[in-house]
Amino acid sequence: MSPRPIRYGMVGGGPGAFIGPVHRMAAALDGRYELVAGAFSSDPTMCRAMGEELGLGPERVYDDFRTMAAREGPRPDGIEAVSIVTPNHLHHAVAKAFLEAGIHVMCDKPLTTTLPDAEELCRLSEERDLVFCVTHNYTGYPMVKEARERVRCGALGVIRKVVVEYSQGWLATLLESTGQKQAEWRADPERAGLSSALGDIGSHAHNLAAYVTGLDVEQLFADLGTMVEGRQMEDDATVLLRYVGGARGLLHVSQMSTGERNHLRLRVYGSSGGLDWVQERPNRLRLLSPPGDVTVLYRGSANLTDRARAHTRLPGGHPEGFIEAFANLYRNVADTVLAREGGGAEPFADDFPTVTDGARGVHFIQSALRSAEEGAWVDASYEP
């Protein structure tokens, strides 16, 4: 029998949003969730319009998230989980309200805009024994999971170098001055937080490298810049990394790289081999050998690890991508929630970024900002 769907609500993701609809598609893909409530916009008219479009009863569409948390928590048929897809500055307050109401949380990145707020969510999640996923969706790709397994089993030998790049060109002009919704809030310190490019896509790059390699950053040196005239926040960042154990790394993120679309690339080099994964070609993984030979692995192949196969839906040659990667996180969270009801743990159900991973990402961003301000190497080690 198919597992019952998890009742969930959403905060944010109203008319004109980008990531909210992505989360709704991902949650619906495996039939593991049922959207039953929402506070989709701070504008009551837009919120109600979104609820009607999604087929929700007006009594389950709320003008604000605090009312939603207070009313949904006690309901026998209330939501069991909430998806938070708001601008960054609201993540902490929204997540806190739902944790205090006893509701599991799935929150977009970065977790919060300050480390104390992130650590408060860690404490609340642990105290209430609630599942908390930070939706770094790139960890959901099957070939990223294959890369993780290859590194963790020692196939690359001792890791020596990690290079992760995330380049976009959509902010190569002062797009925020036109009123474009996605650009406007990301360029606003009040809503984006202390960082723009690092917080938006640098958090993904940092998390991806950590997920695959298992390495913790020990020290870093960051150079942050604002290249588009008139912009308030950084649109380019380069960070040199020293990992615990001696590996070196380079993290480069840019949102003003003209012509780039969504170029996320991870390369890991060890004493016995290397690997190379590119998000715009997500269904393949390049393995590099010392003589310079290259072996290409493809998603759906029989020679992949169990972890990669468990997160694959289609036969090889039928591409899977962005929505499916998100859906893998949602499915694993659903399995984890149901396992707590005695449903039995599914293989790899715990394979999703946690609230602690989110706090580690916030600490990384703040360390990079401190380094850029001081113009020096800084201690970036973090113990949750």
Q: Is 382 helix (H, G, I), strand (E, B) or coil?
A: coil
What's the average model confidence in pLDDT over 91-119? Answer: 98
Structure tokens at 64: 């604000």
User: E-strand spans in 115-235?
Assistant: 132-134, 159-167, 217-225
- Which of 104, 130, 156 marks a domain boundary? 130
For residues 164 and 288, state if they share a domain. yes
Note whether residue 17 is domain-resident. Answer: yes
For residues 73 and 94, state if they share a domain. yes
For residues 120 and 209, state if they share a domain. no
Residue 365 has pLDDT above 80, yes or no: yes
For residues 55 and 190, state if they share a domain. no
Confidence at residue 363, expressed as pLDDT on a 0 to 100 scale: 98
Report the distance separating Cα 359 and Cα 22, nearest Å: 23
Note whether residue 352 is domain-resident. Answer: no
Confidence at residue 287, expressed as pLDDT on a 0 to 100 scale: 98
Number of domains in the chain: 2
CATH of the domain at 77: 3.40.50.720
CATH of the domain at 217: 3.30.360.10
How does pLDDT run across 188-202, given as a tens digit for each residue? Answer: 999 999 999 999 999
E strand or H helix at 24, and its extent? helix 19-29
For residues 151 and 297, state if they share a domain. yes
How does pLDDT run across 300-357, given as a tens digit for each residue? Answer: 999 999 999 999 999 999 999 999 999 999 999 999 999 988 867 788 999 999 999 9
What's the average model confidence in pLDDT over 77-88? Answer: 97
Confidence at residue 347, expressed as pLDDT on a 0 to 100 scale: 86
- Which of 109, 130, 151 marks a domain boundary? 130
Rounded to the nearest integer, the mean pLDDT of the chain is: 97
- Which of 130, 158, 180 marks a domain boundary? 130
Report the distance separating Cα 314 and Cα 302, nearest Å: 13
Report the distance separating Cα 220 and Cα 164, nearest Å: 14
What's the average model confidence in pLDDT over 27-49? Answer: 97
Confidence at residue 346, expressed as pLDDT on a 0 to 100 scale: 82
Report the distance separating Cα 88 and Cα 152, nearest Å: 32
For residues 206 and 308, state if they share a domain. yes
Confidence at residue 341, expressed as pLDDT on a 0 to 100 scale: 85
What's the average model confidence in pLDDT over 77-94? Answer: 98
For residues 156 and 243, state if they share a domain. yes
User: Buried (b) or exposed (e) across 8-31, using 16+ Cβ within 10 A?
Assistant: bbbbbbbeebebbebbbebbbbbe
Q: What are phi and psi of 240, to 5 degrees?
A: -85, 140
Note whether residue 308 is domain-resident. Answer: yes
Residue 210 has pLDDT above 90, yes or no: yes
Q: Name the residue with higher pLDDT: 233 or 345.
A: 233
Note whether residue 224 is domain-resident. Answer: yes
For residues 108 and 185, state if they share a domain. no
What's the average model confidence in pLDDT over 42-49? Answer: 96
Q: What is the Cβ-side half-sphere exposure of residue 313, based on CA atoms within 13 angstroms?
A: 15
Report the distance separating Cα 211 and Cα 335, nearest Å: 20
Note whether residue 302 is domain-resident. Answer: yes
Note whether residue 301 is domain-resident. Answer: yes
Residue 1 has pLDDT above 70, yes or no: no
How does pLDDT run across 127-158, given as a tens digit for each residue? Answer: 999 999 999 999 999 999 999 999 999 999 99
Report the distance separating Cα 330 and Cα 332, nearest Å: 5
What's the average model confidence in pLDDT over 18-44? Answer: 97
Portion of the chain with pLDDT greater than 90, in percent: 96
Note whether residue 326 is domain-resident. Answer: no
Residue 50, domain extent: 6-130
For residues 96 and 172, state if they share a domain. no
For residues 51 and 184, state if they share a domain. no
